[in-house]
């Protein structure tokens, strides 16, 4: 696609009289501009039927290059790492003023010293750990013993409560109506009848029959009558 040409006005000092023609440039010049295609523009007619043919690739060559390039990059990475380590070692030796052998010997001695210190710390912490485990086991045994004693006390207390209940039930069972004394209980009930009805007069006084079963009301009525009699005597 050939570039399009457009007239562009080059203003060099404007069109005023200050423009110097000796610079060899024209006020108005032709400038070639290659315009970009807009998104909405249609496809060029020369490319309507264009179909790109894929570049042929040799399978053996592709496999060979893939393997060798990976090998090549691995070797270069290893070489870069080796060179960096050498440069770092040289800078360290220059800064510390010692050789690599001396530094290696110092590192080995430091490593042995740290191993010895580690063994000492392991022994010390092991003793502390054993003492802690022993105290924890003693505490667990003591708590288990206390729990067993508490459970035994609770069991004894429960047995005592059951025994007291049994005694109370035995005492109460003497008044129970059974098949042996049911006839006698019926005769006693018929001989000693109880009346649960009562009446109230207009003054609010409770009137109880002679054989009333309301003993509490009867006692309150007796006390009330006694207070009324005492009040009458005081008034007289």
pLDDT in tens, the chain (236 residues): 444 444 444 444 444 444 455 555 555 556 677 778 888 999 989 999 999 999 999 999 999 999 999 999 999 999 999 999 988 888 877 766 666 677 778 889 999 999 999 999 999 999 999 999 999 999 999 999 999 999 999 999 999 999 999 999 888 888 888 888 888 888 887 777 666 677 777 777 777 766 666 666 767 666 677 777 777 777 76
Written as one string, the DSSP assignment of 208-225 is --TTBS-HHHHHHHHHHH
- Exposure string for 104-142, b = 16+ CB within 10 A, e = fewer: eeeeeeeeeeeeeeeeeeeeeeeeeeeeeeeeeeeeeee
The pLDDT value given to residue 116:
95
Name 20's Cβ contacts closer than 8 Å, sequence gap at least 6: 13
User: Dihedrals φ, ψ of 195, to 5°?
Assistant: -110, 125
């Amino acid at each position: 696609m050939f570039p399009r040409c457009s007239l562009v006005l080059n203003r060099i000092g404007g069109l005023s009289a200050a423009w110097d023609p000796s610079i060899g440039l024209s006020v108005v010049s032709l400038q070639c501009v290659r315009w970009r295609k807009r998104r909405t523009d249609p496809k060029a007619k020369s490319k309507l039927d264009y179909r790109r043919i894929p570049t042929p690739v040799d399978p053996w060559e592709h496999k060979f290059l893939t393997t060798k390039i990976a090998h090549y990059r691995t070797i270069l990475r290893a070489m870069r790492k080796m060179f960096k380590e050498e440069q770092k070692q040289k800078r360290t030796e220059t800064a510390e003023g010692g050789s690599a052998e001396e530094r290696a010997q110092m590192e080995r001695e430091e490593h042995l010293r740290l191993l010895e210190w580690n063994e000492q710390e392991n022994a010390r912490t092991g003793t502390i750990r054993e003492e802690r485990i022993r105290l924890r086991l003693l505490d667990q045994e003591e708590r288990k013993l206390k729990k067993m004693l508490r459970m035994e006390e609770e069991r004894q207390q429960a047995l005592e409560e059951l025994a007291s209940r049994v005694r109370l039930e035995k005492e109460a069972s003497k008044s129970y109506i059974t098949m042996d004394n049911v006839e006698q209980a019926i005769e006693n009930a018929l001989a000693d009848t109880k009346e649960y009805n009562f009446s109230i007069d207009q003054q609010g006084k409770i009137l109880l029959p002679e054989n009333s079963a309301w003993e509490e009301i009867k006692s309150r009525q007796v006390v009330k009558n006694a207070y009324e009699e005492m009040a009458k005597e005081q008034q007289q």
